[in-house]
Structure 1
Amino acid sequence: MWYEEAVFYQVFPLGFCDGLRDNDGVMNRCISEFADWIPHLQKLGTDAVYFSPIFESDYHGYDTRDYRVIDKRIGTNKNFAELVSKLHEAGIKVVIDGVFNHVGRGFFAFKDVCEKKWDSAYKDWFNISFDGNSPYNDGFWYEGWEGYYNLVKLNLNNQDVVNYLIESVRGWVNEFDIDGIRLDVAYCLNRDFMKRLRYETDQMKQEFFLVGEMLHGDYNTIVGDECLHSATNYECYKGLYSSFNSMNMFEIAHSIERQFGKEPWCLYTGKHLLTFVDNHDVSRIASTLTNKAHLPLIYALMFGMPGIPCIYYGSEWGCEAVKGSGNDNILRPAFDKPEYNELTDTISSLGQMYHNSRALSYGDYTKKVLTNRQYVFKREADGEKVLVAINADENEYTAYFDTECADALNLITGKKEELSGKIVLPSYSFRFYRCM
């Protein structure tokens, strides 16, 4: 599958197009302008763009009004289809958000229920009681996602709802030629619905990719041969930044070994989870890390560990933003153009390196050296051995261990180096070595 070797890049279209406001139908900037970023994506080694919500919604994209029309604040169906075509011409796949758990109050079926009450043909599309009332004084009670009544929960046990959503997805494939879907709040979704979606999309397009949002719990509950291909690895997201902030590499090492260590006790052998250091729902990593010298190191660790690395737009040059109370717009800004600095160059080097190593995509994991401030592990696949070494300390560190080779190729510099049982790590540094 293509996603197993991919570097992802996430964009929040409503933010990118400066459209995060109550939907007034006015476009400040067209999503087609994102095509200007293609050279930047190529520099980063991007294989796939994940677009957060793009369909007509009440406000932030996760409150869908119409699953079949691109939000007017970012453009038209034609605009998005043309953008996907340009990305495909550049060899870049496209994954979009599928918000199937809930809709906005502006969704046509819910508006019909508000108008006709128990006489509505769509009353069973939602979880409704006509014996109560809602905070909007609708004259009936309905289930809102996690108590948010602007997010009306769909009844995925209703086959009419499921069929409507499947046909919407079919339209996305036919009209836009998308390559995958990220399922919002997949941990809430009916498992039968996800299995049906997997079956249908397998028929629609070869190697169609499904990844589910999972905040906690066992990812195996949604990832498998009959369900989704992948899940968001929030366990390692927390372990990544926390390990650097607390100077305790044992935390992320524990998570990685629990997930991908030696069988039989590890959880996700052979699976490819989506790995990230930040996204549209959490503070920017440049604001989360207490020591800015750790920024390149956390990206190096993300690219070195098992998983599918995903970069959130703007974070590659160190954009800062702290998640606020009830308003995430600050995390989803409009940028005029990409910026370049030392961090951008580092991530670009990591992205290009990633494609030249099957071990980093498919390799098993073996811990070699672990201290509070240093972490060295091996990835190995198809006879290729890659050593990943991180030094989060302000002082130089020499890691002594069985390197399994005397000579190695530095995958970042392309130069041959002698190891002979040790790796010398300058302060705040990382190394990727392929054994020769």
Structure 2
Amino acid sequence: MGHWYNEAVFYHIYPLGLLGAPKKNEGTEIEHRMKKLLPWIDHMKDLGVTAVYIGPLFESTTHGYDTKDYKKVDRRLGDNEDFKDFVKKCHEAGIRVVVDGVFNHTGREFFAFQDIQKNREHSPYVNWYKGVNFGWNSPYNDGFGYEAWRNCFELVNLNLYEQAVRDYLFDVIHFWIQEFDIDGIRLDCADCLTFDFMKEMRWRTSQEKEDFWLMGEVIHGDYARWANDDVLHSVTNYELHKGLYSGHNDHNYFEIAHTIRREFDENGGIYKGRTLYSFADNHDVDRLASKLNNKAHMFPEYTLLYTLPGIPSIYYGSEWGIEGRKEGGNDDPLRPALNLAEMEEKYKDCQLTEHIRMLGRLKKELSPLSEGKYRELLLTNRQYAFARIQDDKAVIVAVNNDENPAHVSIPVPAGGNAVNAVTGEPVNVENGRINAELSPAGSLIVSVNI
């Protein structure tokens, strides 16, 4: 058996949005909105989800990434006991819990920044932030300048070269593991963090919890620099995310296949043996239903998400195919408040939800989908088939992005009896090939004993 995270199906929750929290933290009474998350645990389990990535969670000023207190759950969501209870109930349901770690910057209400505002040059925290300069001023008229994330001055860049800062953040992580029993951390802006900091985090967390998972948000660059045995276990596969929707919109499966070949081909894929984090959408990009020209393409896209190499992730609400687009710089439309009972009623016969549930079941039943090597079998602009091969078992997947049915003839890795993984019916293999009809925007998943 591999590690839990390499076999996981993730559900991604942005809690301030899902729970309809006010946009600004006014420091008022604690609101126990988090209790509304408990029914979602059964919903996740029903979808075949085995891990939840939830965040940001900790006390912040507005959107959650401007941290005010790393050791307190945001009062708009609830208190530490509420989150502890959520984790416990997830664990009872067989679901691991991963939180957002925002370690590149803090908000302006964080104690160290406020101490600099008050004591200026005499503050013991002067070196906690990058570029603090008392000869300058900030857009907030602090009487000093500092480095901010992408010039968003509400996010003050921490100085990870300062030992005291690293010690403080490692203490925070230790606290999260002890207090809440979390199973992993998704590192916000991992491509801004220092490698030494991430390496030490990897070492420390693995000492504390053997199967602790670290996943980094990385958009561009060579993912292998982050995802390896020394730094993080995984990173966000933005390259695949782009290929998945534009490959459907342009009727061009070559784009997806080329990305996968480059990344994971058993001969020379640059990330072969690594497991990256795959997603159709998330809290920073438009919903899949809003990106696809043809909404029926959600079906083959989710088939690919679950069966290509990678750890699949469903962003809350997208299992029902909801829409959502950024408006200028505003991410709120991507992060709506949803009422589970209402959604389940409204979408009770939703075929997409059924499809995702079926994929979750196959991911659990068919180990080659997690562990198998990737091999391309067939590729045209509109049809694509590949195998995931593990020892004497293989899973063959074929998808069609055409508006018409398509006939495919797929070569089968040497071997024996083939079964339709969805229906359990035998599939005919003639002269080493499966001949099949794919419906418009259809998929075929076949399990083969080699």
- Give the TM-score range, shorter chain: over 0.9
Provide structure 1 residue ranges, at least 5 long, that are not aligned to the other structure: none
1:104 to 83, 103, 107: 107
Q: Which amino acid aligns with 1:125?
A: W
Aligned counterpart, 2:223: 219
Aligned counterpart, 1:428: 441
Question: Where in structure 2 are the equivalents of 1:353-392 lying within 5 Å?
Answer: 353-392=362-401
C-alpha displacement of 1:53: 0.3
Aligned counterpart, 1:416: 426
> More displaced, 41-50 or 406-415?
406-415
Tell me whether 1:228 sits opposite 2:241 in the alignment: no
Tell me whether 1:13 sits opposite 2:23 in the alignment: no
C-alpha displacement of 1:185: 0.5
Distance in 1 between residues matched to 2:73 and 2:210, nearest whole Å: 24
Aligned counterpart, 1:135: 139
SS at match of 1:353: helix
Question: Where in structure 2 are the equivalents of 1:258-407 lying within 5 Å?
Answer: 258-263=262-267, 265-337=268-340, 338-339=343-344, 340=347, 341-404=350-413, 405=415, 407=417
Distance in 1 between residues matched to 2:438 and 2:385, nearest whole Å: 11
Provide structure 2 residue ranges, at least 5 long, that are not aligned to the other structure: none
C-alpha displacement of 1:419: 3.5
Distance in 1 between residues matched to 2:22 and 2:157, nearest whole Å: 22
C-alpha displacement of 1:308: 0.2
Is the Cα–Cα contact under 8 Å of residues 259 and 267 in structure 1 kept in the other structure? yes
- TM-score in terms of structure 1 length: 0.98
> More displaced, 332-341 or 308-317?
332-341
C-alpha displacement of 1:25: 3.6
Tell me whether 1:159 sits opposite 2:157 in the alignment: no
C-alpha displacement of 1:424: 2.0
Is the Cα–Cα contact under 8 Å of residues 378 and 387 in structure 1 kept in the other structure? yes
Report the number of matched residues.
435
> More displaced, 379-388 or 151-160?
379-388
Distance in 1 between residues matched to 2:219 and 2:210, nearest whole Å: 28
Distance in 1 between residues matched to 2:291 and 2:231, nearest whole Å: 33
Q: Which aligned runs of 4 or more in structure 1 are off by greater than 3 angstroms?
A: 25-29, 404-407
C-alpha displacement of 1:22: 1.1
1:204 to 175, 196, 208: 208
SS at match of 1:65: strand
Is the Cα–Cα contact under 8 Å of residues 385 and 410 in structure 2 kept in the other structure? no
C-alpha displacement of 1:113: 0.6
2:192 to 160, 173, 188: 188
C-alpha displacement of 1:24: 1.7
Question: Where in structure 2 are the equivalents of 1:25-44 lying within 5 Å?
Answer: 25-26=27-28, 30-44=33-47
C-alpha displacement of 1:406: 6.5
Distance in 2 between residues matched to 1:144 and 1:401, nearest whole Å: 53
Aligned counterpart, 1:55: 58
Distance in 1 between residues matched to 2:238 and 2:72, nearest whole Å: 31
Aligned counterpart, 2:67: 64
Is the Cα–Cα contact under 8 Å of residues 30 and 74 in structure 1 kept in the other structure? yes
Distance in 1 between residues matched to 2:150 and 2:37, nearest whole Å: 33
Is the Cα–Cα contact under 8 Å of residues 389 and 395 in structure 2 kept in the other structure? yes
Distance in 1 between residues matched to 2:444 and 2:409, nearest whole Å: 14
Distance in 2 between residues matched to 1:4 and 1:20, nearest whole Å: 36
Is the Cα–Cα contact under 8 Å of residues 17 and 73 in structure 1 kept in the other structure? no
Is the Cα–Cα contact under 8 Å of residues 406 and 418 in structure 1 kept in the other structure? no
Distance in 1 between residues matched to 2:22 and 2:285, nearest whole Å: 17
Query: CA 1:375/1:29 → structure 2, altered by over 3 Å: closer, same or farther?
Result: farther
Aligned counterpart, 1:89: 92
Is the Cα–Cα contact under 8 Å of residues 369 and 377 in structure 1 kept in the other structure? yes
Aligned counterpart, 1:239: 243
Is the Cα–Cα contact under 8 Å of residues 31 and 78 in structure 2 kept in the other structure? no
Is the Cα–Cα contact under 8 Å of residues 17 and 29 in structure 1 kept in the other structure? no
Distance in 1 between residues matched to 2:419 and 2:9, nearest whole Å: 22
Q: Which amino acid aligns with 1:36?
A: P
Is the Cα–Cα contact under 8 Å of residues 20 and 329 in structure 1 kept in the other structure? no
C-alpha displacement of 1:417: 2.0
Q: Which amino acid aligns with 1:198?
A: R
Distance in 2 between residues matched to 1:67 and 1:365, nearest whole Å: 41
> More displaced, 243-252 or 424-433?
424-433
C-alpha displacement of 1:427: 1.8
Distance in 2 between residues matched to 1:296 and 1:154, nearest whole Å: 42
RMSD of aligned residue pairs (Cα, Å): 1.2
Deviations 1:109-142 (A, max 9, x none): 0011111111111110001111111100111110
Deviations 1:6-62 (A, max 9, x none): 000000011112114111245666112211112211111110000020000010001
Distance in 2 between residues matched to 1:415 and 1:110, nearest whole Å: 64
Is the Cα–Cα contact under 8 Å of residues 18 and 29 in structure 1 kept in the other structure? no
Distance in 1 between residues matched to 2:180 and 2:31, nearest whole Å: 22
Tell me whether 1:77 sits opposite 2:87 in the alignment: no
Distance in 1 between residues matched to 2:17 and 2:183, nearest whole Å: 22
Q: Which amino acid aligns with 2:351?
A: E
Q: Which amino acid aligns with 1:284?
A: R
- TM-score in terms of structure 2 length: 0.95
C-alpha displacement of 1:386: 0.7
SS at match of 1:142: coil
Is the Cα–Cα contact under 8 Å of residues 8 and 47 in structure 1 kept in the other structure? yes
Aligned counterpart, 2:24: 22
Aligned counterpart, 1:251: 255
